[in-house]
Structure 1
Amino acid sequence: MDQGGAPPVFSASAELDGDHLRVVVTGEVDMATADTMLSTALREPADRVTLDLRAVTFFDSAAIHALVRLAQRFPAGLTVLPSRQVTRVLEISGLAEQNWLRRD
């Protein structure tokens, strides 16, 4: 049944600046898109990764798994900028106190 709205749009783009990779993710990160988010963040060689999730509208367990894998890959070089929805999911999952999470 048509709900009259456009389907949520997912995108993940990356920009490398020296050894710092900035990945901007928008839309829904779920089992269909989490691997794309992860592969985008791992595509370029970098020492530091900023994962900008401020425009993410949905974040599920597959997205959490991808995020944990990034945190393992970049133990001292990951920064995550969450949306309100991502923050809530990380709070529920017990990951809200991780040192890579920034709530500015």
Structure 2
Amino acid sequence: MFVDQEGADLNFSADAVVDGGRAVVTVTGEVDMSTADAMFRAATRDGVTAATLDLREVSFFDSAAIHALLQLAEFYGDRLTVLASSQVRRVLEISGLASQPWLSPAD
């Protein structure tokens, strides 16, 4: 398990569990310019060839977070799955990214 709270932001965590080459990264709290890189690093660990990014417990998602997400989409291509909270989904809709193939349908 990997927990990264480098920025000492108590409202953020990125926990990664790797199984069979797929990282399942559970992100909680606020993803912004101080935490987006930690989210990216948690999803791109050695030996990982696919990723599921669980953002269902994310309460804030800014342009730095979008940039990190797009980097993950470029890195993994069709091997990326994103589960989004309503707040993240709204940001992705506003950004024109709601129809991306990596974004799972709303629950």
By the TM > 0.5 criterion, same fold?
yes
Letter paired with 2:94: I
Q: Tell me the TM-score normalized by structure 2.
A: 0.87
Percent of residue pairs identical:
59
Report the alpha carbon displacement of residue 43 of structure 1 after superposing the two structures with TM. 1.8
Q: Tell me the TM-score normalized by structure 1.
A: 0.90
SS of the residue 2:17 aligns to: strand
Aligned match of 2:91? 89
Report the alpha carbon displacement of residue 44 of structure 1 after superposing the two structures with TM. 3.2
Aligned match of 1:23? 25
Q: Which runs of 5+ in 2 are unaligned?
A: 1-8
SS of the residue 1:74 aligns to: helix
Q: Which runs of 5+ in 1 are unaligned?
A: 1-6
| Distance in 1, Cα, partners of 2:78 & 2:86 | 24
What do residues 10-31 of structure 1 show as CA deviations (whole Å, max 9, x unaligned)? 0001000111110000000000
| Distance in 1, Cα, partners of 2:49 & 2:78 | 9
CA RMSD of aligned residues (A): 1.2
Letter paired with 1:32: S
